[in-house]
Amino acid sequence: MNNERTYQFSDNRESGKKAVFVAIRQNAPIARIDIAKQTGLSPATVTSITAEMITKGLIEEVTNPNQNAARRGRPRVDLQVRSDAHLVAGMKLTDKYATVVIVDFVGNRVAEFSNPSPAAFQPAEDTRDFLQETLLMALDDAGLTIKALSGVGIGLPGVIDTDTGLVRWSPTIMERDVPLQQMLHDVLGVAVFIENDANLVALAEQRFGLGTKARNFIVITIEQGVGMGIVIDGKIYRGTGGGGAELGHTKVHLDGALCRCGQRGCLEAYVGDYALLREASTTMGPLSGANPEQQMQLLMKEAQSGNQTALSIFQRAGRMFSMGLANVVNIFAPELIILSGERLQYDFLYDDDVIASMKQSIVQVAGPPPEVRVHKWGDRMWAMGAATYALEGVIDLELHG
Amino acid sequence: MNNERTYQFSDNRESGKKAVFVAIRQNAPIARIDIAKQTGLSPATVTSITAEMITKGLIEEVTNPNQNAARRGRPRVDLQVRSDAHLVAGMKLTDKYATVVIVDFVGNRVAEFSNPSPAAFQPAEDTRDFLQETLLMALDDAGLTIKALSGVGIGLPGVIDTDTGLVRWSPTIMERDVPLQQMLHDVLGVAVFIENDANLVALAEQRFGLGTKARNFIVITIEQGVGMGIVIDGKIYRGTGGGGAELGHTKVHLDGALCRCGQRGCLEAYVGDYALLREASTTMGPLSGANPEQQMQLLMKEAQSGNQTALSIFQRAGRMFSMGLANVVNIFAPELIILSGERLQYDFLYDDDVIASMKQSIVQVAGPPPEVRVHKWGDRMWAMGAATYALEGVIDLELHG
């Protein structure tokens, strides 16, 4: 058993191929024998899989210049991904804008682009049009056309069924059960892969972020809402039908505060922007900012300058958040929790008190509590997660399509 | 990809062997080719693994009498587990008693025995002595000696680190980090396997209960406390160091009711016996039963005869329980939830209202909510889970020890 391997797979050739590709991309240049060690596959299987990849132009051999002089005379041949094999795009959709990155097959960023959204909440067809328009603008900006792309990965908030490409529900789309993957494929003419945005952050953290060494970890994203990505035994955990990982809608108070989802007592109804601004309006009157973001900045400033009401609003949100975190730890006991997302600029959600309070609210066993790390990635990095997802989707198509 | 396979394994021979054994035990008599189909292993690998098992006397060939006449003349040879290969014991420890079952290598029950515990909460050495004494009494009762056993599986509540055999914490044992597995091995002289009791119920449900067809399911046990066993992708999920799955200590109310664990707002502090009796004592005075179980019976009777206070105590517990259930669904989106344990005789915890309330508190996506099934297994069935665990532990030792 090799505990250092970075990708888990079951005993079928499909996932073996993907594991080989991931091992090469993450460790290139890498020798076949080291791929075998990392993936747990037999050297013969690795030789056969890599031969197919070379024939298809996905990877290439390189002579390792740093070969150990003590080794026999035969030069050591390593493998690496061919950067020119494919270009893919990764997109992140939020209530405020769409972000695009275009990456080569190695994952090097070729171009990036951002486009403000005309509406935070819109019909599915408008969402499709907005995503298409943004992608075409990004390509145009980079001097490329859609024909240059082999795939597009898209991350958005909500419940996404990756098997069927359905958006079951998203806070940014009016309808339910939207076949967004098919709708976009129809207008773009390239392979489209859609996924929950927090899962894509988890994928990015696993592939090239803070989670590369953890087998079991959790990513909690704090943006418009509270999202969660769960990695169990090296794989993104997707509940039945793409459900699950709805930390923001776990209940922290019976019949508690009203949530945007229409239910009561959801964690989001205590830590989301709207929840804090709703409380602020009770005693502080309407805040003067033009939009929730500016209003939140104002409220934060009030708290920092000693306004006790503003302070108590943030403190309660922090305590509720620590309770939600503790529940996740009590259920999963992950090695690592990564807090990620733009709201982490408001440090009330992850300051030392909140983490300490979480650690006091978990079952006290002798083992150490999980490590908590904060990763203030921008949307560009979320889009990188989407690009990585597209890359791995293209690999699947190339190797078994 | 064969979605019907009943056991998941990674690409290493260790788990391949166990998968083959489980496939044979659950489907015997079974042909080698069908084992290959079920496990996803190659026919050559199955042939090699089964040859080793035959040599070691673990399984045997049988000629299938029902062979299809249309097939060629060669008789079809199936495999089955040799019932006489090993005897193992499974034990369940609660605050009230220990239960033992002795099973043969096929899993047939050979004997069973129950012994009341001298104390609900005792030092580790007393726990060891009580378990040893109970096992020896069970063996004696069955006309056997300890030498007849190849392994003993033990399930108990608490945080168990199966890798090290440590009881990190248990509500029935005074000390922490008790090396109970080693302590019992030292006095019994046979292989001992310890595990959290709810995980063993999950194992039993997976191997021969309601969970044989589900890849992702959750077992919630209601006994002295609230336990949970999580099966993800066909495997028991064990968090870091045996932690996790502590549903009873997830917080359902910030700074809420005091729990036996010393923290506040735990689910158990609202649905546990002690929580209900604590509430009852506020207005109804001390209940007359000699022990918590009798007092609970009394309180239940009061509620059934229309006592509004008693009724409201049960109703609140039911609502809190539905909130805890909804949180699990929001996080995992399992296909199936199995409610199990002796407290299910108090139907306030799983009546239609509670399940309906859970379904209203989960994120409303188009997919169906998980199926909820109630399994009022007795302690004997929990002990069967422990015996199954021991059987599979013995197989591990036989094949790789």
List the CATH number of the domain containing B44: 1.10.10.10
Percent of chain A residues past pLDDT 70, beyond the cut: 90
Nearest-CA distance from B247 to chain A in Å?
6
**B176 chain-A contacts, CB cut-off 8 A:** 365-366
A149 belongs to a structural domain: yes
Q: Verify that B21 and B53 share a domain, yes or no.
A: yes
The Cα-based distances of B385 to B91, B147, B193, B335 in angstroms read 9, 22, 12, 21
Residue of B167, B231, B254, B371 to mutate, testing the A interface (most A Cβ within 10 Å of its Cβ): B254
Q: Quick: pLDDT tens for B35-46.
A: 998 888 888 889
Provide the residue range defining the domain that includes A384: 87-202+380-400
Residue of B251, B260, B335 to mutate, testing the A interface (most A Cβ within 10 Å of its Cβ): B251
pLDDT above 80 (res A83): yes
Nearest CA in chain A to B368: A241
Domain count, chain B: 3
Q: How is residue A281 written in tokens?
A: 């309006």
User: How confident is the model at residue B366, as a pLDDT?
Assistant: 56
Question: Of A39, A63, A81, at which residue does a domain stop?
Answer: A81
Q: How far apart are CA A217 and CA B342, in angstroms?
A: 34
B224 belongs to a structural domain: no
pLDDT above 90 (res A80): yes
Q: Verify that B128 and B180 share a domain, yes or no.
A: yes
DSSP code for B343: G
What does pTM read for this prediction?
0.83
Q: How far apart are CA A388 and CA A197, in angstroms?
A: 12
Strand partners, B251: B266
Q: Verify that A21 and A92 share a domain, yes or no.
A: no
Q: Verify that B259 and B359 share a domain, yes or no.
A: yes
**A241 chain-B contacts, CB cut-off 8 A:** 333, 365, 367
User: How confident is the model at residue A395, as a pLDDT?
Assistant: 87
Question: Of A81, A100, A132, at which residue does a domain stop?
Answer: A81
Cβ–Cβ under 8 Å, residues B343 and B312: no
User: How confident is the model at residue A241, as a pLDDT?
Assistant: 76
A251 belongs to a structural domain: yes
User: How confident is the model at residue B74, as a pLDDT?
Assistant: 65
B254 belongs to a structural domain: yes
Q: Verify that B69 and B161 share a domain, yes or no.
A: no
Query: B366 vs A177: CB contact, 8 Å cut-off?
Result: yes
Query: A361 vs B263: CB contact, 8 Å cut-off?
Result: yes
Average pLDDT over residues A22-29: 88
Q: Quick: pLDDT tens for A172-205.
A: 999 999 999 999 999 999 999 999 999 999 999 9
A140 belongs to a structural domain: yes
A184 belongs to a structural domain: yes
Query: A335 vs B240: CB contact, 8 Å cut-off?
Result: yes
Going by C-beta distance under 8 Å and a sequence separation of 6 or more, which residues neighbour residue A133? Answer: A115
Nearest-CA distance from B322 to chain A in Å?
10
User: How confident is the model at residue A1, as a pLDDT?
Assistant: 31
Q: Verify that B44 and B112 share a domain, yes or no.
A: no
**Top-confidence residue, A75 or B151:** B151
**A41 chain-B contacts, CB cut-off 8 A:** 11
List the CATH number of the domain containing B330: 3.30.420.40
Query: B249 vs A328: CB contact, 8 Å cut-off?
Result: no
Cβ–Cβ under 8 Å, residues B314 and B347: no
User: How confident is the model at residue B231, as a pLDDT?
Assistant: 93
Candidates A235, A243, A328; nearest CB to B367: A243
Query: A330 vs B263: CB contact, 8 Å cut-off?
Result: no
**Top-confidence residue, A95 or B187:** B187
User: How confident is the model at residue B9, as a pLDDT?
Assistant: 32
Mean pLDDT score of chain A? 86
Cβ–Cβ under 8 Å, residues B49 and B16: yes
pLDDT above 50 (res A3): no
The Cα-based distances of B159 to B156, B162, B199 in angstroms read 9, 9, 11
Q: How is residue A161 written in tokens?
A: 């069924």
Q: Verify that A163 and A136 share a domain, yes or no.
A: yes
Q: Verify that A358 and A274 share a domain, yes or no.
A: yes
B137 belongs to a structural domain: yes
User: How confident is the model at residue B14, as a pLDDT?
Assistant: 56
Spell out, as residue ranges, where chain B has pLDDT lower than 70: 1-14, 64-74, 224, 344-347, 365-367, 377-380, 401
ipTM of the complex: 0.80
B221 belongs to a structural domain: no
Residue of B365, B396, B400 to mutate, testing the A interface (most A Cβ within 10 Å of its Cβ): B365
Nearest CA in chain A to B9: A10
User: How confident is the model at residue A73, as a pLDDT?
Assistant: 62
Q: How far apart are CA B97 and CA B2, in angstroms?
A: 43
**A177 chain-B contacts, CB cut-off 8 A:** 366
Q: Collapsing DSSP states into helix, strand and coil, what is residue A82?
A: coil
Question: Of B81, B115, B139, at which residue does a domain stop?
Answer: B81
Mean pLDDT score of chain B? 86
Q: Verify that A34 and A62 share a domain, yes or no.
A: yes
Q: Verify that B103 and B197 share a domain, yes or no.
A: yes
The CA-based dihedral angle spanning residues A391, A394, A396, A400, taken in that order and rounded to the nearest 10 degrees: -160
Q: Quick: pLDDT tens for A231-261.
A: 988 889 888 877 788 899 999 999 999 998 8
At residue A62 the predicted structure's pLDDT band, cuts being 50, 70 and 90, is: very high
Q: Verify that A272 and A359 share a domain, yes or no.
A: yes
**A240 chain-B contacts, CB cut-off 8 A:** 216, 333-335, 367, 370
Write out the DSSP string of A249-295: GSBSBTT-SBPTTS-BSBTHHHHSHHHHHHHHHHHH-----SSHHHH
Query: A263 vs B361: CB contact, 8 Å cut-off?
Result: yes
Average pLDDT over residues A119-147: 96
Q: Verify that B139 and B22 share a domain, yes or no.
A: no
